[in-house]
Structure 1
Amino acid sequence: MIDPFANNHQSMQIGELIVENQEDKVIIYGDLDLLFDEAGYEQAKQLHELTTKVLQAFENSDQNNKKTLSSKQENDQPDNDIDNPFM
């Protein structure tokens, strides 16, 4: 199980659902078919544990707000002018 927002190197998989951990976000993508059987029950428990940990990280955000976090998406702002290296 990952520790949400704690680092940039953890990932996990539940069925075909991929969860990637970063310090400023948790990325979830893929598919998860929860069948009404024992395997589906185990996957549902894993999903529940993951979302509980994510919610706890938000609730404990006073700790996380002390970190200076930046993501590539936030740093790629189109309104910033840069010098053209070819001129």
Structure 2
Amino acid sequence: MIEPFANNHQSMQIGELVIENQEDKIIIYGDIDLTLDASGYEQAQKLHELTGRIVDAFQVNSLYSNNDSKSKENDDQLGKDIDNPFL
């Protein structure tokens, strides 16, 4: 289980859902099928634990309200307009 917002090198997977940890954000992509069986229950428990840890990190860290701490260098959206190379 990852420690949310603690570092830039942890990741985990629940089903086909990938969770990447960064110091200023958590990236979640993919999909998950929570089937009504033991496997689905186990995956739902992991997902519940992870989201609980993420919410706890927000509650103990007041930085989430300060947008200045976000790393623009690592952001995919730099806020710049660029020429379309396909035109």
TM range (shorter): 0.7 to 0.9
Equivalence for 1:45: 45
Equivalence for 1:26: 26
Give the alignment of 1:2-81 within 5 angstroms: 2-62=2-62, 68-71=69-72, 72-73=74-75, 76-78=78-80
CA RMSD of aligned residues (A): 2.4
Give the distance between the partners of 1:4 and 1:48, measured in 2 at CA: 14
TM-score (norm 1): 0.78
Gaps of 5+ in 1: 80-87
TM-score (norm 2): 0.78
Q: CA deviation at 1:76?
A: 2.8
Give the distance between the partners of 1:8 and 1:23, measured in 2 at CA: 6
2:30 partner SS:
strand
Percent of residue pairs identical: 57
Q: CA deviation at 1:41?
A: 0.3
Q: Which has the larger radius of gyration?
A: 1
